[in-house]
Amino acid sequence: MRPWKLIYDLALLTVYLAILAGIALWVLHMRRSMIAQLDQPEQLESWQEWRAAAAKQDGTHGPVAREVPRSDLPPMLLMMRDNFPAMFFAATVFPAIILGFFLLVLRGVLRQSGTPPPA
């Protein structure tokens, strides 16, 4: 194997791992900030007010009957707290597959010519 091909491979692998690490860190950061924002008493009170308003909208005074959510906590807080492993898996695996395919195609294009890049 020629040294410049090895350098391309290592560079592509480094880019791949750096982007995936960035995505994972960003998802973890967003989870922390969302939980901190939604776990405030004002937000919980606002959610309870919305649930009370939704209970009054039974369809007799408007075109749509709302069903009152069963949870006492906002849906986004529940999703970030209880369903985070599935969200994290999806947020990292799907981009990994797409990015991996893209970089594999890029690797093939770079190796197709068989000549080293201009110095």
Q: Is residue 21 part of a domain?
A: yes
Quickly list H helices, the chain.
3-38, 41-56, 75-82, 84-112
Q: Is residue 119 part of a domain?
A: no
Q: Is residue 39 part of a domain?
A: yes
Which domain, by its residues, includes 20? 3-111
Q: Is residue 48 part of a domain?
A: yes
pLDDT over 90 at 29, yes or no: yes
When pLDDT is averaged across residues 94-115 and rounded to a whole number, the result is 86
What span, in angstroms and rounded, lies between the C-alpha atoms of 21 and 91? 11
Q: Is residue 32 part of a domain?
A: yes
When pLDDT is averaged across residues 50-78 and rounded to a whole number, the result is 82
Q: Is residue 52 part of a domain?
A: yes
pLDDT over 60 at 1, yes or no: no
When pLDDT is averaged across residues 10-24 and rounded to a whole number, the result is 94
Mean pLDDT of the chain: 87
Q: Is residue 118 part of a domain?
A: no
Q: Number of structural domains, the chain?
A: 1
Give the per-residue pLDDT at 98: 96
- pTM beyond 0.85: the answer is no
